[in-house]
């Protein structure tokens, strides 16, 4: 299997995440995207993060029945801070990934990538793919990588959390089952 690993907080998962994952999978020739929700994200702002169980359930609702998507909860099961190098080293043998996997990150993570746990090894063990987050000039990146000229959907998890907290609609920014789950569980309000 030719796999593309796409980890994140997914707080909540939204159409921008899903479109990027599918676009990269198809455009770059991967068989599957492995979505890996972080247990405790270490590279994101300290905004309130929903319990991992809620974020995992929303991922399942978002991609249920969609070919080409695999959800792996290894970081949640492992517990504690989530480190990408540990995840990659677990997934490759367990899922039988034979070719070097792709590893998708947003350009917003490029500047701090060198501070990631064992970043040099991670860059050697995966094909780093950097997705655009804005229409501006991409930041420089000293690690071997491939830039992905993806279409940018102007939606973010922080915007969805803010809108939900204000009692505003989040419909059509994320899959309907995820919007229903947020509403039914009174998340982010």
Q: For residue range 151-171, what is the model confidence (pLDDT) as tens digits?
A: 999 999 999 999 999 999 999
Please report, for residues 12, 75, 94, the alpha-carbon distance to residue 98 in angstroms, rounded to integers and kept in the order given.
Answer: 31, 21, 11
Assigned domain for 160 exists? yes
Q: What's the pLDDT band for 98 if we cut at 50, 70, 90?
A: confident
Q: What's the pLDDT band for 139 if we cut at 50, 70, 90?
A: confident
* CATH number for the domain that contains residue 162: 3.40.50.620
Domain count along the chain: 1
- Which domain, by its residues, includes 154? 3-184
Gyration radius of the chain's alpha carbons: 16
Assigned domain for 143 exists? yes
Q: What is the pTM of this model?
A: 0.95
Assigned domain for 189 exists? no
Arithmetic mean of pLDDT, 12-21: 97
Assigned domain for 120 exists? yes
CB of 83 within 8 A of CB of 42? yes
Helical pair 176-184 and 52-63, crossing angle rounded to 10 deg: 150
80: number of Cβ within 10 Å: 10
Assigned domain for 51 exists? yes
Q: Say whether pLDDT at 137 is over 80.
A: no
């Amino acid at each position: 299997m030719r796999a593309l690993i796409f980890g994140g907080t997914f707080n909540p998962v939204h159409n921008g995440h899903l479109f990027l994952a599918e676009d990269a999978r198809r455009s770059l020739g991967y068989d599957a995207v492995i979505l890996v929700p972080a247990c405790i994200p270490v590279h994101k702002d300290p905004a309130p993060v929903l319990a991992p169980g809620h974020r995992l359930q929303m991922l399942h609702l978002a991609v249920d029945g969609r070919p080409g998507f695999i959800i792996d909860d290894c970081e949640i099961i492992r517990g504690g801070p989530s480190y990408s190098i540990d995840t990659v080293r677990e997934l490759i043998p367990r899922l039988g990934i034979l070719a070097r996997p792709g590893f998708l990150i947003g350009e917003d993570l490029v500047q701090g990538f060198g501070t990631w746990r064992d970043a040099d090894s991670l860059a050697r063990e995966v094909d780093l793919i950097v997705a655009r987050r804005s229409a501006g000039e991409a930041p420089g990146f000293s690690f071997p990588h491939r830039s992905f000229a993806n279409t940018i959907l102007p939606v973010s998890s922080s915007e969805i959390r803010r809108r939900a907290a204000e009692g505003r609609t989040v419909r059509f920014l994320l899959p309907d089952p995820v919007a229903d789950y947020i509403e039914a569980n009174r998340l982010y309000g």
